[in-house]
């Protein structure tokens, strides 16, 4: 048997124990992390190795190496994506017949395939929230010069993000990175996204997982509209008179509210200096997440970070510390508010939700209890009530790798 070639950022000897001399579809069920699987052009399986869940995709050696390097590059530039783990090549059967290479990625903890989202979530706007997340991801990719070439819900994973979702790119074998994308490349990617998503929603409708009265074509059109609106807000040139310079700050604040940082602005004037033109040149996603990380060390999704920062601001006001340094108040909030809440999660339930999402849902539950009682519910009382009445019924999401709806419990959101 030919020697295996393992390319990995961190070698794990446990990889050698896997049956690389067998086609992936023939691997024994007792070493797989989950039986049900979603739709894919390639054979995909999940295994547990050294306590972590890994996704294995059997694919041509050239494509495996290309996708591995592309995922590493996307990770370095801050694009939400799965993390590459290794490429296994040089595989042969015991009789010496060559086998395709294997691309291995880390399973994204607390992530959900779109079919799992629809099987669990009963809210009517589920499709719209997923498409909002996908539109943000697609804009982020295009701003970085990445042409996806295979945009779909199937090639995306979703993580809960304070009542919304955050989208992560999974499959990049058709993608290419350029210095900038042409309008034609962006338009083709967007049209492909619309076509694929309409088909996927029709499939969900046939399986009675999507509202039969909703029009998949209309939902697909909404993705295009959301993308175009966001792209315009982030890249459009804005004209205003020279005595309206405050609009520069207003434009930056608007982009911050959308969750993007402006690293550079292009400002020009006309010949007589009466008109200014402003256009963002470098726009980075994750404004609130970076601010929360800087203040508290909490790693959160963008909407989660916005929610936690709002709670921090309310804490600052309620404790009358507006004049104190923000870093000092953030440290106190972390010790007195956030950490006691997340430490209250029973160990047996810690795989149900990420800590920032748990804190967000506790805040939402506090509002619900307070409105019901007509008086302000205490945080301690809210945490206990939420754990015993809501969290206990939620499915584990830390390592949910299945997309088979029959294997998933239903949870309201």
Mean pLDDT, the chain, integer: 85
Reported as half-sphere exposure (CB side, CA atoms, 13 A), residue 351 has a value of 9
Query: Does 296 lie in the same domain as 356?
Result: yes
Q: Would residue 399 count as lying in a domain?
A: no
Query: Does 95 lie in the same domain as 11?
Result: yes
User: Which residue is it, tokens 């990995």?
Assistant: 8
Q: Cα angle at 243 between 242 and 247, to 5 degrees?
A: 85
Q: Would residue 407 count as lying in a domain?
A: no
Q: Would residue 56 count as lying in a domain?
A: yes
Q: Would residue 71 count as lying in a domain?
A: yes
| DSSP β-bridge partners for residue 275 | 241
Q: What percent of the chain has pLDDT over 70?
A: 91
Q: Would residue 276 count as lying in a domain?
A: yes
Query: Does 320 lie in the same domain as 273?
Result: no
Q: Averaged over 196-206, what is the pLDDT?
A: 91
Query: Does 77 lie in the same domain as 133?
Result: no
Find the range with the poorest average confidence among 38-47, 245-254, 341-350. Answer: 38-47
Query: Does 299 lie in the same domain as 272?
Result: no
How would DSSP label each residue in 192-215? HHHHHHHHHHHHHHHTT-S-TTS-
Last residue of a domain, one of 73, 106, 139: 106
Query: Does 196 lie in the same domain as 126?
Result: yes
Query: Does 98 lie in the same domain as 159?
Result: no
Q: Averaged over 180-207, what is the pLDDT?
A: 93
Query: Does 314 lie in the same domain as 280?
Result: no
Picking from 328, 292, 293, the residue whose alpha carbon sits closest to that of residue 307 is 292
More confident residue, 338 or 266: 338
- pLDDT band at residue 383 under the 50/70/90 scheme: very high
- In the chain, how many domains are there? 4
Q: Averaged over 159-181, what is the pLDDT?
A: 89
Q: Is the pLDDT of residue 143 over 60?
A: yes
* Res 398: pLDDT: 65
In sequence order, the 6+-apart residues with CB closer than 8 A to the CB of 333 are: 296, 311, 312, 315, 316
* Res 120: pLDDT: 65
State pLDDT tens for residues 355-367: 999 999 999 999 9
Q: 85 and 9 in contact (C-beta within 8 Å)?
A: yes
- pLDDT band at residue 261 under the 50/70/90 scheme: confident
Query: Does 310 lie in the same domain as 275?
Result: no
Query: Does 135 lie in the same domain as 97?
Result: no
Structural domain boundaries, residue 57 = 5-106
Question: Domain of 16: which CATH number?
Answer: 3.30.200
Q: Is the pLDDT of residue 121 over 60?
A: no
Find the range with the poorest average confidence among 5-9, 18-22, 153-157. Answer: 5-9
Last residue of a domain, one of 77, 106, 135: 106
pTM flag (> 0.95): no
More confident residue, 327 or 249: 327
Reported as half-sphere exposure (CB side, CA atoms, 13 A), residue 214 has a value of 22
> Phi/psi at 141 (nearest 5 deg)?
-60, -45
* Res 256: pLDDT: 82
Q: Averaged over 326-354, what is the pLDDT?
A: 91
């Amino acid at each position: 048997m030919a020697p295996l070639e393992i390319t990995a950022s961190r070698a794990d000897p446990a990889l050698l124990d896997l049956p690389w001399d067998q086609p992936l579809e023939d691997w024994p069920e007792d070493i797989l992390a989950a039986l049900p699987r979603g739709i894919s052009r390639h054979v995909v399986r999940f295994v547990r190795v050294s306590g972590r869940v890994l996704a294995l995709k059997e694919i041509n050696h050239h494509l495996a190496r290309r996708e591995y390097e592309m995922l590493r590059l996307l990770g370095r530039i801050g694009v939400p994506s799965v993390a590459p783990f290794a490429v296994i090549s040089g595989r042969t059967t015991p009789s010496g017949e060559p086998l395709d290479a294997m691309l291995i990625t880390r399973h994204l903890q607390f992530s959900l395939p779109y079919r799992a989202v629809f099987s669990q979530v009963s809210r009517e706007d589920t499709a719209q929230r997923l498409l909002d997340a996908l539109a943000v991801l697609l804009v982020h990719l295009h701003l970085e010069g990445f042409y996806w070439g295979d945009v779909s819900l199937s090639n995306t994973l979703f993580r809960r993000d304070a009542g919304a979702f955050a989208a992560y790119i999974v499959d990049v074998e058709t993608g290419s990175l350029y210095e900038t994308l042409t309008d034609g490349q962006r338009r083709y990617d967007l049209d492909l996204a619309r076509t694929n998503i309409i088909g996927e929603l029709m499939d969900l409708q046939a399986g009675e997982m999507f509202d039969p009265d909703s029009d998949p074509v209309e939902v697909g059109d909404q993705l295009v509209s959301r993308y175009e609106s966001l792209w315009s807000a982030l890249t459009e040139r804005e004209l205003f008179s020279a005595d309206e310079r405050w609009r520069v700050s207003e434009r930056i604040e608007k982009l911050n509210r959308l969750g993007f940082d402006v690293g550079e602005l292009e400002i020009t004037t006309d010949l007589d200096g009466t008109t200014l033109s402003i256009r963002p040149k470098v726009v980075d996603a994750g404004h609130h997440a970076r601010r929360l990380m800087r203040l508290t060390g909490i790693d959160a999704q963008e909407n989660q970070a916005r929610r936690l920062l709002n709670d921090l601001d309310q804490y600052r006001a309620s404790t009358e510390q507006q004049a104190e340094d923000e870093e000092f108040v953030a440290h106190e909030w972390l010790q007195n508010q956030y950490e006691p809440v997340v430490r209250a999660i029973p160990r047996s339930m810690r795989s149900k939700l990420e800590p920032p999402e748990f804190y967000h849902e506790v805040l939402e539950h506090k509002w619900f209890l307070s409105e019901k009682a007509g008086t302000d519910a205490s945080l301690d009382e809210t945490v206990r009530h939420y754990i015993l009445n809501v969290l206990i019924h939620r499915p584990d999401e830390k390592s949910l790798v299945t997309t088979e709806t029959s294997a998933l419990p239903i949870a309201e959101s």
